Chains A and B, each alone.
Chain A
């Protein structure tokens, strides 16, 4: 199957994006060096090519950025909502105009296929700003009482899996509600946030309303700890989320955490198999499985296990792994060497604990960070690969006999972010959806996102919601 079709290369041109050799921090409307002059390099994970050198923010820079945001807060929060809205509409429009450039940039810096940045990330980024722009002058009607107030300065720390989309999820609601922000992008994907800083300038956004501080974990920690930060928003690992929850204990800081997951994708014996297979593939191989809400545990009803796995394996054999800029690529590069090592370690644990590993025939490029689509059968609930978030293209397959057993297994996790249900029976969908302890349940679909739809977890997947009317609450004094 793998070689049924040969595709000619169809690369998207990278000439549309002009990456400078070096970038500064974006503080108070200006690009500046870090106070201590530190820099780090960001590489393209598909080729290990150095894309740019980026200033690395330290504690002193955090303080300067928070001061700028505090100063800007006075005027920004006092602006009529309709005026704040217009800035956000401008930003949404400029993102739409520059979306091809940003898609190529994101693919270069992150390693994910251009098909995804072009068709998923960027449209959602623009839509998110457009959606929250419209809220800015309607907050009195949002159900939080009259005249809800912004919190002040928001310290935001985002991950590398959807760099610009996570930025949009953080910045759009914060600005719409009248807060100002200091945002730290991930150390492996700082570039789209810095391009976003340029978009803020093009939109004429007042200085200090948005500040971007590239850096590592220490930068994020300094930002979270800064006494003049009123709100902390974090998307990332559960371990760091817990550390942040400890760090802000006893303070006035409001916090929202969007953390890890181990989503169960439940397939019943009456499911439309072909659609379910597409949903399973999308659930775990979208963005190389580096998705907090990935459907990383497949729970398949025992009676259709063989049929489903045959179809699934056949489908996986047709996935194309390679150059992320190629428009036909399905599976791109793993974001970093470190992440690749983490995936490798967990997969080795899966084998060592006795699960059966399978991958389609798949040639990996010689440079860059790559991992073949992988599935494990014979997985039990006690296995590490059924419990720990792998954050990679690795699917663990478990079986069940009854709906009750499926629900029990799905809920047997410290996490509670996402789940999927595949069945043609409506009452079963509603009954199972009702019992699942997860913040997002996709029935006969998977990995769908929309700015109007609240997203966030139960249990140790974090708390607070992003998106929709619910997403406003995180940035209001209510």
Chain B
């Protein structure tokens, strides 16, 4: 039987919420096309209810994920890189179609994205030493500052860089123990939805990353206003939307990462890791031995 005679199997792209792959509760989809306007798939058009469901899933996952050891989180992030490596061809095809890149350029983008997971896998058990530590207070107290994850973070993923950009904003948020509700690129959501399939097979607990596709403004508004969301990364929001979302985010004082020009192929630094960290400082009296002055 020749290839020409075989009808290929299309994939139904679905959301990734709480470790499952639901359709939008609204039953809506929208047409996703390649850079030339050719139909690729129907993606779920998420509703506000989908957004709220995703927050519930992310909150449920937060205790376990933030409480996991940093070493364990690193292992899982590395596992994501391994799974991606094995499905590289698929992502090269999807990124090439989504962003109108040549196959070789798309391959470069996907490889950089895989390497980015490796970079952040290594950060999980190092960031605490870099940004935390003992403080030499002027008194008989043990005093230690440690970073802790902020909580549930909404991520408005980059609109143009549908995969490398996406990975670059999601990985640092979860590396430190946050859980995420990710709004995929509006016009190129397919790589993000496929990433959900990779995450689902990488030992990442369900709900740590939740991926929604649809109209960015429609999904982002209820998330920015949601009282159980603790932070919001506005990278993929335009100027007008970003301001609107920042105003809504003020209602429960979400930590806000404003949009800024980013070259996703450059060294990412630590800024995205530290944007959704809180510092906790613990004091305890030390008591004193040898008060008589004797040094043993």
Chain A residues proximal to chain B, CB less than 8 Å:
127, 143, 145, 238, 241-243, 245-246, 249-250, 257, 259, 414, 429, 433, 436, 438-445, 448, 450, 452-456, 458-460, 462-463, 465, 468, 470, 478
Give complex CA distance A363, B49 in Å: 58
Instruction: Show 5 A/B contacts (Cβ-Cβ < 8 Å), sorted by A.
Output: A448-B141, A453-B281, A459-B253, A465-B279, A468-B135
Give complex CA distance A64, B43 in Å: 55
CB distance from A88 to the nearest CB of B (A): 17
B138 pairs with A450, CB closer than 8 A: yes
Give complex CA distance A433, B280 in Å: 9
Contact for A143 among B130, B145, B282, B284, CB less than 8 A: B130
Given A245-B253, A453-B137, A459-B230, A444–B281 Cβ distance below 8 Å?
Answer: no
Given A143-B130, A440-B283, A450-B137, A246–B250 Cβ distance below 8 Å?
Answer: yes
Give complex CA distance A242, B131 in Å: 27
Point out the residues of chain A lying under 8 angstroms from B239, CB to CB: 250
Which residues of B125-140 are within 8 A (CB) of A?
Answer: 130-131, 135-139
B139 pairs with A450, CB closer than 8 A: yes
Point out the residues of chain B lying under 8 angstroms from A127, CB to CB: 138
B250 pairs with A441, CB closer than 8 A: no
Give complex CA distance A465, B131 in Å: 12
Contact for A448 among B230, B242, B253, B283, CB less than 8 A: B283
A454 pairs with B139, CB closer than 8 A: no
Give complex CA distance A448, B131 in Å: 22
User: Which of A438, A459, A465 counts the most chain B CB atoms within 10 A?
Assistant: A459
Nearest residue in B to A473 (C-beta to C-beta)? B274
Q: Besides A238-B253, A246-B250, 8 other CB < 8 A contacts?
A: A245-B250, A259-B253, A439-B279, A441-B281, A444-B284, A448-B139, A452-B136, A452-B143
Point out the residues of chain A lying under 8 angstroms from B131, CB to CB: 143, 470
Point out the residues of chain B lying under 8 angstroms from A468, CB to CB: 135, 145
User: B86 within 8 Å of A by Cβ?
Assistant: no
Point out the residues of chain A lying under 8 angstroms from B242, CB to CB: 250
Give complex CA distance A444, B282 in Å: 11
A445 pairs with B284, CB closer than 8 A: yes
CB distance from B64 to the nearest CB of A (A): 13
Contact for B243 among A249, A444, A454, CB less than 8 A: A249
CB distance from A447 to the nearest CB of B (A): 10
B137 pairs with A452, CB closer than 8 A: yes
Given A249-B247, A250-B242, A454-B145, A443–B283 Cβ distance below 8 Å?
Answer: yes
B135 pairs with A444, CB closer than 8 A: no
Give complex CA distance A441, B141 in Å: 13
Point out the residues of chain B lying under 8 angstroms from A448, CB to CB: 137, 139, 141, 283
Q: Mark B60-84, 1 if CB is under 8 A from A, else 0.
A: 0000000000000000000000000
> How many residues on B have C-beta within 8 angstroms of the other chain's C-beta atoms?
32
Chain B residues proximal to chain A, CB less than 8 Å:
130-131, 135-139, 141, 143, 145, 230, 239, 242-243, 246-247, 249-253, 255, 269, 271, 278-285
B283 pairs with A453, CB closer than 8 A: yes
Give complex CA distance A411, B255 in Å: 19
Give complex CA distance A143, B136 in Å: 17
CB distance from B279 to the nearest CB of A (A): 5
Given A249-B247, A429-B284, A445–B253 Cβ distance below 8 Å?
Answer: no
A438 pairs with B280, CB closer than 8 A: yes
A250 pairs with B137, CB closer than 8 A: no
Point out the residues of chain B lying under 8 angstroms from A249, CB to CB: 243, 246-247, 249-250
Give complex CA distance A238, B253 in Å: 9
B141 pairs with A463, CB closer than 8 A: no
Give complex CA distance A468, B253 in Å: 23
B143 pairs with A453, CB closer than 8 A: yes
Give complex CA distance A11, B71 in Å: 59
A242 pairs with B279, CB closer than 8 A: no
Give complex CA distance A243, B143 in Å: 33
A454 pairs with B284, CB closer than 8 A: no
Q: Which 8 A-B pairs have the closest CB atoms?
A: A250-B243, A245-B250, A249-B246, A450-B137, A246-B250, A443-B284, A452-B135, A249-B247
Give complex CA distance A436, B145 in Å: 14
Point out the residues of chain B lying under 8 angstroms from A259, CB to CB: 253
CB distance from A233 to the nearest CB of B (A): 15
CB distance from A251 to the nearest CB of B (A): 9
CB distance from A122 to the nearest CB of B (A): 14
Point out the residues of chain A lying under 8 angstroms from B249, CB to CB: 245, 249
Point out the residues of chain A lying under 8 angstroms from B282, CB to CB: 433, 440-443
Give complex CA distance A127, B239 in Å: 42
CB distance from A321 to the nearest CB of B (A): 28
Nearest residue in B to A257 (C-beta to C-beta)? B253
Give complex CA distance A439, B230 in Å: 15
Nearest residue in A to B227 (C-beta to C-beta)? A414
CB distance from B288 to the nearest CB of A (A): 14
Point out the residues of chain B lying under 8 angstroms from A460, CB to CB: 252-253
User: Which of B131, B230, B282 counts the most chain A CB atoms within 10 A?
Assistant: B282
Point out the residues of chain A lying under 8 angstroms from B250, CB to CB: 242-243, 245-246, 249
Nearest residue in A to B255 (C-beta to C-beta)? A463
A242 pairs with B145, CB closer than 8 A: no
Give complex CA distance A441, B279 in Å: 11
